[in-house]
Amino acid sequence: MALTQEILDNEIQTLNVLFADNTSDVDVIAELKEYETTELQEKLTNLKLIKSAYDANTVKIPVVNVPQISKVIAMVDNILKLEAKKRKTDSDDNNSKRQKPNPNADEDTDESRVHLAKDDAEKEKAKKLFNITQPRNLKLQIQKRAISHIFDWDPKPRSMIVYVTGPDYKRGEINNILLRSDRHFGIIPDMTENMDHALINCNNDGQREIIMEILNNSEENITAEFSCFRKPIIKFEIDFPIEETEIPNILKEIKQFNLKKFNQATFDLHRHYRIPGTPFTVICVIVDPKIRDYIIEEGQGRIWFRSKSRMVLDYFNVRKCYDCGLSNHGNCTSKQRRCLRCSGPHKRSSCSSLTLRCPACSGPHEAFTIYCPNFVKAIDKEMNTIDYTYTKVMWSPMF
């Protein structure tokens, strides 16, 4: 049996439900016992495949799920063994009932008493380990808490933002150009400079017009324009090696199979990049807003490619610092590296903590998630550059 992305996603989602809200091991075992034997056997096979693939460094899974996989494998294995033992015991009991009464059955030997005592002790031990009075129904819980990568988003009022780019654009030069000007434009509330563009947040239309005139009339070959200049960008993963020359045909195939009704709509390559340590490629595509809406509403945030359902995510050009966990700053001045998972003084890859703490906001989550108000603020600022109002976002920590 081969490990597919769908199996991986489903099992990771189930693990997140099983261990939600610091659920105890006893509760997890009770929920696993709600499964049928065949379902448990299938789950055991899937988890072993995921563990083998993770050990071979061929799949990426959240660090928090790694110890959970080993724990659930052991639990499911024990449950299956107990069920097999119970079936054997029941079968033996049924066979003994069909046999003729033994005239010596009333004889109570020391050996038989020891054997019965041993069985009773094992049954009592198993009862304490695997039984609780009111087990929660995991299947029902999953239905009630349908885990998805589509999240509601609170659209913010658009800011007065100027988008600056151009052949002569350099990070750090915009401020110098504005300081050389004799025109008065007041205090700029905020400015974010990335490698290829800058976003200047203005107080009002008047300030924005003056800043745009100063930058467009400068000696440097740069352009300043209103921020809502581009269409949404989505991304998806291709889980097998591809050449750069294959990407146009891949996009054409995806559009023909999934988006036939949008033949004339924008579906153009923005960029692509390889996931470190894997042969997988992430493709980012500029899409017409109608296509993005269709993927969310009709496709549930997924597209089909090569007989496989693939997760689609939104792409935002937010600069992430993997040293300190903050977004959209220049050279990091942090004196010590901080773990993106627990805020400890170590790399995320070597983190073994089960306690999540964001290094950016100290919240109970990892860095660069939509649960982090600092990261949400950075995404909101990037949304100001897009001619589209987001009411939902497609997001996942997987890639």
Residue 213 token pair: 């005139």
The pLDDT confidence band at residue 140, using thresholds 50, 70 and 90, is very low
Please determine, for residue 84, whether its predicted confidence score (pLDDT) is greater than 90: no
Judge whether 166 and 221 are in contact, CB under 8 Å.
yes
Please determine, for residue 148, whether its predicted confidence score (pLDDT) is greater than 80: no
Q: Which helix (H) or strand (E) holds 144?
A: helix 138-144
CA distance 192 to 205: 19
Please determine, for residue 169, whether its predicted confidence score (pLDDT) is greater than 80: yes
**What confidence score (pLDDT) does residue 259 get?**
93
Beta bridge partners of 239: none
Which residues of the chain form CATH 3.30.70.1820? 233-315
Q: Which residues contact 220 (CB under 8 A, 6 or more apart)?
A: 166, 168, 169, 173, 177
Q: What is the DSSP letter of 274?
A: E
Judge whether 325 and 359 are in contact, CB under 8 Å.
yes
**Tokens 């993106």, located at residue:** 340
CA distance 396 to 384: 21
**What confidence score (pLDDT) does residue 288 get?**
94
Q: For 235-251, what is each residue's pLDDT tens digit?
A: 999 988 888 899 999 99
Q: What is the DSSP letter of 159?
A: P
Q: What angle do CA 172, 178, 181 make, to 5 degrees?
A: 145
Q: Which residues contact 374 (CB under 8 A, 6 or more apart)?
A: 326, 327, 358, 360, 361
Least confident of 117-126, 258-267, 338-347, 381-390: 117-126
**What confidence score (pLDDT) does residue 353 get?**
86
Beta bridge partners of 281: 238, 274
**What confidence score (pLDDT) does residue 20 get?**
65
Please determine, for residue 172, whether its predicted confidence score (pLDDT) is greater than 50: yes
b/e code 268-294 from CB counts within 10 Å (16+ = b): eebebeeeeeeebbbbbbbbbbebbeb
How far is the CA of 362 from the CAs of 186, 355, 375, in angstroms? Answer: 34, 11, 12
**What confidence score (pLDDT) does residue 71 get?**
85
Query: How many CB atoms are located within 10 Å of the residue 306 CB?
Result: 12
Please determine, for residue 19, whether its predicted confidence score (pLDDT) is greater than 80: no
Query: How many CB atoms are located within 10 Å of the residue 252 CB?
Result: 11
Q: What percent of the chain has pLDDT over 70?
A: 81
Residue 136 CA, chain-centre distance (Å), reads: 26
Q: How far apart are the first and last CA of the chain?
A: 24
- What number is the average pLDDT over the span 170-199? 88
- What number is the average pLDDT over the span 323-331? 80
Least confident of 13-17, 198-202, 372-376: 13-17
The pLDDT confidence band at residue 114, using thresholds 50, 70 and 90, is low
Strand order across the beta sheet in which 233-238 lies: 267-274, 281-287, 233-238, 309-314, 302-304
**What confidence score (pLDDT) does residue 361 get?**
92
Instruction: Name the CATH superfamily, with its identifier, for domain 160-226.
Output: RRM (RNA recognition motif) domain (3.30.70.330)
The pLDDT confidence band at residue 11, using thresholds 50, 70 and 90, is confident
Least confident of 86-95, 262-271, 274-283, 284-293: 86-95
CA distance 316 to 234: 8
- The SS3 assignment for 364 reads coil
Judge whether 397 and 62 are in contact, CB under 8 Å.
yes
Please determine, for residue 313, whether its predicted confidence score (pLDDT) is greater than 90: yes
**What confidence score (pLDDT) does residue 339 get?**
92
Q: What percent of the chain has pLDDT over 90?
A: 25
**Of 3.40.50.300, 3.20.170.30, 3.20.20.70, 3.30.70.1820, which CATH number belongs to 233-315?**
3.30.70.1820
Which residues of the chain form CATH 3.30.70.330? 160-226
**What confidence score (pLDDT) does residue 117 get?**
56
Average pLDDT, the chain: 81
Q: Which residue has the higher pLDDT, 379 or 1?
A: 379
Helix axis angle for 110-130 and 25-32, nearest 10°, is 100
User: 202: exposed, middle or buried (C-beta count within 10 Å: 0-12, 13-18, 19+)?
Assistant: buried
**What confidence score (pLDDT) does residue 132 get?**
41
**What confidence score (pLDDT) does residue 289 get?**
93
Q: What angle do CA 300, 305, 308 make, to 5 degrees?
A: 75
CA distance 200 to 193: 8
